[in-house]
């Protein structure tokens, strides 16, 4: 395997089984999973409804046919997603991953607008391919400066910068909108294709724009016909608790939404839902050999039905509040905690240094909890449990997190 494929922990673990919201490693140790395979095992492990749907498809003997034939599961899932998106006259194209979904959205936007100019957000992450890396604004994830696109990066999730400190939400939004207007007046030439943005930045450490910022941005974009792509690879399907898609907290209906990760609950699926005229626009023939294959569609249909039938958005709001409120309370007495942020079951703790973040990972692992890390400087602990997390598990997880933070805080006090 390549050296750049990172593994968590000083002694990496192999996960060999899972049930509910817990997994077991090859040594038999059990963990409460607060990272869900990077937000992908969205409704936990060994879910009967998903397993049985996949087994029914396997029993037909048809694992793959490709999009050159009709795929009932694709049509059924597309209808659900189009309805949930709120995008008028929406159509859906399925891919294998979020990276591919973002590539597709960028292709649609640049084709429609006949421009290679794209706006993106500072601290963003949109994937590891050539085009997706070009709209990624985090040096740790960029391998080169070459780009198929002409990209300009905007403010919006960087209130820690000196020029924005102390600003109210309204003042910060106004400052960012003014900066967008200035970028459009000075840094671009003629038409801009699109703005692509994450409502909550994933790799960025769950940093986020204040609610309403993207509404202010869209008002400016609409003046010039610039399209808006909401990257919901991590924020979709009710995870934030306050909205089914993260962009809905801003009162905005985007032109396109990209999605992936949790929809298949571990099976590879991604895609784009977009206005029909944008999706139908390209003149060349296109398909995705593996995108939306029958097995992934069976899993994704069952997963989305489960999320809706069990109102997991409400559960994310309820259990997330227990954890986020508890962390904010604990932070008052823990000097190493610089910030607690999040919505629903998508929350982060900002520490003072990458070394402290690494220590947290080891201590929480020892205590039986899996977490992730990230942020612009590698100082954020980011956590996103399955949406099926119970109240008891939320309390248990909160206790482990606070316990690990107390150890790190005590160590810092002795230095």
Report which of 373, 372, 375, 105 is spatially closest to residue 259, judged by C-alpha positions: 105
> Per the domain annotation, does 67 fall within a domain?
yes
Backbone angles phi, psi at 98, to 5 degrees: -65, -35
Task: Give me the pLDDT at residue 345, please.
Answer: 98
Indicate if 24 and 101 belong to the same structural domain. no
Output the 3-class SS for the chain: CCCCCCCCCCCCCCEEEEEECEEEECCCCEEEECCHHHHCCCCCECCHHHHHHHHHHHHCCCCCCCCCCCCHHHHHHHHHHHHHHCCCCEEEEEECCHHHHHHHHHHHHHHHHCCCEEEEECCCCCCCCHHHHHCCCCHHHCCCCCCCCEEEEECCCCCCCCCCCCCCHHHHHHHHHHHHHHHHHHCCCCCCCEEEECCECCCCCCCECCCCHHHHHHHHHHHCCCEEEEECCCCCCCCCCCCCCHHHHHCCCCCEEEECHHHHCCCCCEEEEEEHHHHHCCCCCCCCCCCCCHHHHHHHHHHHHHHHHCCHHHHHHHHHHHHHHHHHHHHCCCCCCCEEEEECCEEEEECCCHHHHHHHHHHHHHCCEECEEECCCCCEEEECCCCCCCHHHHHHHHHHHHHHHHHHHHHHHHC
> Rounded to an integer, what distance in angstroms lies between the CA atom of residue 166 and that of residue 168?
7
Report which of 236, 234, 197 is spatially closest to residue 217, judged by C-alpha positions: 197
Indicate if 228 and 95 belong to the same structural domain. yes
> Per the domain annotation, does 393 fall within a domain?
yes
Indicate if 277 and 326 belong to the same structural domain. no
Sheet holding 339-343, edge to edge: 339-343, 346-350, 380-383, 372-374
Backbone angles phi, psi at 256, to 5 degrees: -145, 150
Which residues of the chain are under the pLDDT cut of 50? none
Indicate if 241 and 147 belong to the same structural domain. yes
> Per the domain annotation, does 7 fall within a domain?
no
> Per the domain annotation, does 38 fall within a domain?
no
> Per the domain annotation, does 142 fall within a domain?
yes
Indicate if 232 and 258 belong to the same structural domain. yes
Task: Give me the pLDDT at residue 316, please.
Answer: 98
Indicate if 264 and 379 belong to the same structural domain. no
Dihedral sign (CA 272, 252, 149, 116): positive
Taking only the tens place, the pLDDT of each residue in 204-233 is: 999 999 999 999 999 999 999 999 999 999
Indicate if 297 and 213 belong to the same structural domain. yes
> Rounded to an integer, what distance in angstroms lies between the CA atom of residue 385 and that of residue 36?
6
Sheet holding 150-154, edge to edge: 90-95, 270-275, 256-259, 227-231, 194-197, 117-121, 150-154
**Beta-carbon count within 10 A of 218 CB:** 21
Which domain does 317 fall in, by range?
Answer: 15-33+311-414
Taking only the tens place, the pLDDT of each residue in 195-205 is: 999 999 999 99
Indicate if 318 and 305 belong to the same structural domain. no
Indicate if 335 and 407 belong to the same structural domain. yes
Task: Give me the pLDDT at residue 143, please.
Answer: 87
Q: Which of 275, 309, 343 is the last residue of a domain?
A: 309
Largest Cα–Cα distance in the chain?
Answer: 66
pTM score, whole prediction: 0.97
> Rounded to an integer, what distance in angstroms lies between the CA atom of residue 251 and that of residue 348?
24
Indicate if 303 and 379 belong to the same structural domain. no
Q: Which of 257, 282, 309 is the last residue of a domain?
A: 309
> Per the domain annotation, does 299 fall within a domain?
yes
> Per the domain annotation, does 40 fall within a domain?
no
Indicate if 401 and 252 belong to the same structural domain. no
Q: For position 19, which CATH number holds? A: 3.90.1150.10
Number of structural domains the chain divides into? 2
Task: Give me the pLDDT at residue 6, please.
Answer: 86
Task: Give me the pLDDT at residue 315, please.
Answer: 98
Task: Give me the pLDDT at residue 336, please.
Answer: 98
Report which of 242, 262, 251, 375 is spatially closest to residue 321, judged by C-alpha positions: 242
| DSSP-assigned beta bridge partners for residue 106 | none
Q: Which of 259, 284, 309 is the last residue of a domain?
A: 309
Q: Which residues contact 22 (CB under 8 A, 6 or more apart)?
A: 30, 31, 32, 33, 45
> Per the domain annotation, does 1 fall within a domain?
no
Indicate if 209 and 322 belong to the same structural domain. no
> Rounded to an integer, what distance in angstroms lies between the CA atom of residue 92 and that of residue 82?
7
Report which of 345, 125, 159 is spatially closest to residue 231, judged by C-alpha positions: 125
| DSSP-assigned beta bridge partners for residue 45 | 20
Report which of 256, 272, 228, 342 is spatially closest to residue 96, judged by C-alpha positions: 272
Task: Give me the pLDDT at residue 354, please.
Answer: 97
Q: For position 207, which CATH number holds? A: 3.40.640.10
Task: Give me the pLDDT at residue 144, please.
Answer: 85
């Amino acid at each position: 395997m390549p050296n750049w494929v990172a593994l968590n922990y000083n002694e990496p673990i192999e996960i060999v089984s899972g049930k509910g919201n817990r997994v077991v490693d090859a040594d038999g140790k059990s963990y409460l999973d607060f990272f869900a395979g990077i937000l992908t095992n969205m409704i936990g492990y060994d879910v009967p409804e998903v397993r049985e749907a996949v087994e029914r498809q396997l029993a037909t003997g048809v694992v793959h046919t490709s999009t050159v034939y009709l795929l009932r599961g694709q049509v059924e899932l597309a209808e659900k997603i189009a309805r949930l998106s709120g995008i008028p006259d929406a159509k859906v194209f399925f891919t294998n991953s979020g990276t591919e979904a973002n590539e597709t959205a960028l292709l649609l936007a640049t084709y429609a607008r006949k421009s290679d100019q794209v706006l993106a957000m500072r601290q963003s992450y949109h994937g590891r391919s050539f085009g997706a890396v070009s709209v990624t604004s985090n040096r740790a994830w960029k391998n080169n400066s070459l780009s198929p696109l002409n990209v300009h990066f905007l403010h919006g999730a960087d209130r820690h910068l000196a020029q924005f400190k102390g600003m109210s939400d309204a003042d910060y939004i106004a400052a960012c909108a003014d900066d967008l207007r200035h970028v459009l007046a000075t840094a671009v030439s003629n038409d801009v294709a699109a703005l692509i943005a994450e409502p909550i930045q994933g790799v960025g450490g769950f940093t986020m724009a204040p609610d309403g910022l993207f509404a202010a941005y869209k008002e400016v974009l609409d003046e010039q016909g610039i399209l808006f792509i909401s990257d919901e690879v991590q924020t979709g399907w009710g995870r934030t608790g306050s909205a089914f898609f993260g962009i809905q907290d801003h009162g905005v209906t985007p032109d396109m939404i990209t999605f992936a990760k949790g929809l298949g609950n571990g099976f590879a699926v991604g895609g784009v839902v977009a206005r029909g005229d944008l999706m139908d626009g390209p003149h060349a023939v296109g398909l995705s050999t593996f995108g939306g294959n029958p097995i992934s569609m069976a899993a994704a249909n069952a997963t989305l039905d489960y999320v809706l039938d069990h109102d997991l958005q409400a559960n994310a709001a309820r259990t997330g509040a227990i954890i986020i409120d508890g962390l904010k309370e604990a932070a008052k007495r823990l000097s190493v905690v610089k910030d607690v942020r999040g919505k629903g079951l998508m929350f982060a703790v900002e520490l003072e240094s990458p070394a402290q973040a690494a220590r947290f990972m080891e201590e929480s692992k020892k205590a039986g909890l899996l977490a992730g890390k990230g942020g612009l400087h590698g100082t954020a602990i980011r956590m996103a449990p399955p949406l099926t997390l119970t109240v008891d598990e939320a309390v248990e997880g909160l206790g482990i997190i606070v316990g690990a933070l107390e150890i790190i805080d005590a160590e810092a006090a002795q230095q």
